[in-house]
């Protein structure tokens, strides 16, 4: 397992985190990733991982609640990391 991380988004390695997309993907039912989940995932995985967002058709960036119209995708370099994370982390709204 990875060493114990308790980082903010700006302290993650460049190849981990936002807009790093890998082969094994988890399409979630939420529109955000909590910082607590980032720390937990970082403690579970052994390889690189990241997350990105897919905008819905009705996405309107001029609205105050624009972020509600997107889906969080978490992706992993390792299939085992994906499975472990899905079993151990809850990303419900």
Neighbouring CB atoms inside 10 A of 43's CB total 14
Q: Residue 74 pairs with which residues in a beta bridge?
A: 26, 51
Which residues have CB under 8 Å from 65's CB, separation 6+? none
| Digit-coded pLDDT (tens) for 12-59 | 888 999 999 999 999 999 999 999 999 999 999 999 999 999 999 999
Which pLDDT belongs to residue 3?
46
77 in Cβ contact with 48 (< 8 Å): yes
């Amino acid at each position: 397992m990875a060493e114990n991380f308790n980082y903010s988004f700006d302290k993650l390695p460049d190849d981990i985190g936002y807009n790093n997309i890998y082969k094994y993907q988890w399409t979630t039912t939420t529109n955000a990733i909590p910082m607590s989940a980032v720390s937990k995932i970082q403690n579970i995985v052994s390889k690189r991982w990241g997350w990105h967002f897919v905008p819905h058709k009705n996405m309107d960036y001029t609205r105050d609640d624009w972020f509600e119209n997107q889906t969080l995708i978490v992706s992993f370099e390792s299939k085992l990391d994906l499975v472990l994370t899905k079993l151990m982390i809850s990303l419900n709204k």
